[in-house]
Amino acid sequence: MQLSPSLSQLIEALRCLPGIGPKSAQRIAFHLLERDRDGGTQLGKALTKAMSQIGHCETCRTFSEVSVCDICLSVKRQDSRTLCVVESPTDVLAIEQTGQYQGLYFVLMGHLSPLDGIGPREIGLDLLERRLSEGNLDEVILATNPTVEGETTAHFIAELCHKYHVSPTRIAHGMPVGGELDLVDGQTLMHAFSGRRSI
Amino acid sequence: MQLSPSLSQLIEALRCLPGIGPKSAQRIAFHLLERDRDGGTQLGKALTKAMSQIGHCETCRTFSEVSVCDICLSVKRQDSRTLCVVESPTDVLAIEQTGQYQGLYFVLMGHLSPLDGIGPREIGLDLLERRLSEGNLDEVILATNPTVEGETTAHFIAELCHKYHVSPTRIAHGMPVGGELDLVDGQTLMHAFSGRRSI
Ligand SMILES: [Zn+2]
Ligand SMILES: [Zn+2]
């Protein structure tokens, strides 16, 4: 039996969702057709709009539908001399949810990965260098992930900061608050020891 | 921090997918924007098309983009005098995948459920009655689910068949092939006993 062409296409297209295999895709397609056509129609519109209209902020590279994003335009932050560099827009969300940081951001949309052809230009370091050169920054907080690639990227950007006499800092790595020593991984424990302070 | 409106709308719209909560919706939206815009765009188109263009076959009620579906139009099946009644188009798929059934189908798109306002008309029994009255059928195989509602629906349709002198049969329920006696549920075991045959 052949499924109707639009249904086959829908099942195939659903496979772009992370973690959705052929069986789940079929289940989702039938669920929407049988029980939630309005939801499916809304999702279709939202996807089409988001994929075509969401670009990147000209200043910080995060996702934005307008040329400069809300945070970069924010009156409270515009004069901040602190820039936090992160790998992805979700990192900005996570930091904003703490409500503690009032500075600006720069979103790399990835990390250096020469083997994958991702060099300084691909992660917007030309734009970051321009911002460093303008003399409006005192500190750059390097909040890339504590992975090999994240560390390499942080060190590369730190060099760039030195060139323009801006202080680079790296976020602390160690025990997560509330974590248990014997449950944390060895790398984190090592970071926690090497980053120890007098009390 | 506010997300850009199209992004918020996309995250909200993704919640129509079964089993997707707010966190997963956010993760999927960012995944598509960062890594698979083509996939997201294709999915948007496929959803919009499927939700608007997939209707029901005029003859058997299964999902179809054309007025009469492939199976109902199939030259090999058109003269079949056996009709298999199932609750949902996915049941048709499951039966077709066995490759053993060569007859026609009728898809109820649900089951009788008076408390939810789902009566004979809502599951297309007026259309089924018309087919029974035309005198082209010898047997109606009742393959609704072995649930209380499925059984009730099967018995209701069996009565309708008797009225038009068409033989209703019910698919067998019992031990799944390869199943283990001590792992199967009591209801199934009871069915397996009451449906026993001489060997
Ligand atoms: Zn921005
Ligand atoms: Zn049909």
Measured between CB atoms, does A45 come within 8 Å of chain B? Answer: yes
Q: What is the CATH number of domain A78-170?
A: 3.40.1360.10
Which pLDDT score is estimated for B183?
Answer: 78
CA–CA gap between residue A192 and residue A174 (Å, rounded): 4
Measured between CB atoms, does B25 come within 8 Å of chain A? Answer: no
Would you say A143 and A155 are in contact if contact means Cβ atoms under 8 Å apart? no
- Look up residue A16 and give its two tokens: 């772009």
Measured between CB atoms, does B113 come within 8 Å of chain A? Answer: no
Mutating which of A11, A15, A34, A47 best tests the B interface, going by the most B Cβ atoms within 10 A? A47
Which pLDDT score is estimated for A159?
Answer: 96
- Categorize the per-residue pLDDT at B156 as very low, low, confident or very high, splitting at 50, 70 and 90: very high
Which pLDDT score is estimated for B71?
Answer: 94
- Categorize the per-residue pLDDT at B181 as very low, low, confident or very high, splitting at 50, 70 and 90: confident
CA–CA gap between residue B175 and residue B55 (Å, rounded): 36
Most confident listed range (A181-195, B50-64, B164-178): B50-64
- How distant is the Cα of B38 from the closest Cα of chain A, in angstroms? 8
Set of chain A residues whose Cβ sits within 8 Å of the Cβ of B17: 17, 28, 31-32, 43
Instruction: Give B165: exposed, middle or buried? Use CB within 10 Å, 0-12, 13-18, 19+.
Output: exposed
- Categorize the per-residue pLDDT at B147 as very low, low, confident or very high, splitting at 50, 70 and 90: confident
Distance B59 CA to ligand 2 centre (A): 5
Write down the pTM of the prediction.
0.79
- The answer on pLDDT for B84 being more than 80 is yes
- The answer on pLDDT for B138 being more than 80 is yes
Chain B residue with minimum CA distance to A98:
B1
Instruction: Give A24: exposed, middle or buried? Use CB within 10 Å, 0-12, 13-18, 19+.
Output: middle
Which pLDDT score is estimated for B188?
Answer: 81
- How distant is the Cα of A171 from the closest Cα of chain B, in angstroms? 21
Q: What percent of chain B has pLDDT over 90?
A: 73
Pick the more confident residue, A68 or B185.
A68
Cα B164 off chain centre by: 25
Distance B86 CA to ligand 2 centre (A): 12
Measured between CB atoms, does B32 come within 8 Å of chain A? Answer: yes
Apex CA A69: angle with CA A63 and CA A70, to 5°? 125
Q: What is the CATH number of domain A5-53?
A: 1.10.8.420
Mean pLDDT within B16-23: 92
Distance B57 CA to ligand 2 centre (A): 5
Instruction: Write out chain A's pLDDT in tens, 199 residues.
Output: 568 899 999 999 999 999 899 999 999 999 999 999 999 999 999 999 999 999 999 999 999 999 999 999 999 998 999 999 999 998 898 888 888 889 999 999 999 999 999 999 999 999 999 999 999 999 999 999 888 999 999 999 999 999 999 999 988 888 787 778 777 788 887 777 777 776 6
Domain chopping of chain B, boundaries: 5-53, 78-170
- The answer on pLDDT for B177 being more than 60 is yes
CA torsion through residues B40, B43, B47, B49, sign: positive
B32-51 pLDDT, tens digit each: 999 999 999 999 999 999 99
Which pLDDT score is estimated for B40?
Answer: 97
Which pLDDT score is estimated for A46?
Answer: 97
CB contact under 8 A, B31 and A18: yes
A35-92 pLDDT, tens digit each: 999 999 999 999 999 999 999 999 999 999 999 999 999 999 989 999 999 999 988 9
B92-132 pLDDT, tens digit each: 988 888 888 899 999 999 999 999 999 999 999 999 999 99
Which pLDDT score is estimated for A198?
Answer: 67
For A:58-87, CB contacts with B below 8 A are 63-66, 69-71
Instruction: For chain B, give the mean pLDDT.
Output: 91
Distance B73 CA to ligand 2 centre (A): 7
Q: How many residue contacts between A and B have a Cβ separation below 8 Å?
A: 181
Set of chain A residues whose Cβ sits within 8 Å of the Cβ of B48: 41, 44-45, 48
CB contact under 8 A, A63 and B5: no
Q: Which residues lie at CB < 5 A from ion ligand 1?
A: A 57, 59-60, 69, 72
Measured between CB atoms, does A165 come within 8 Å of chain B? Answer: no
- The answer on pLDDT for B1 being more than 70 is no
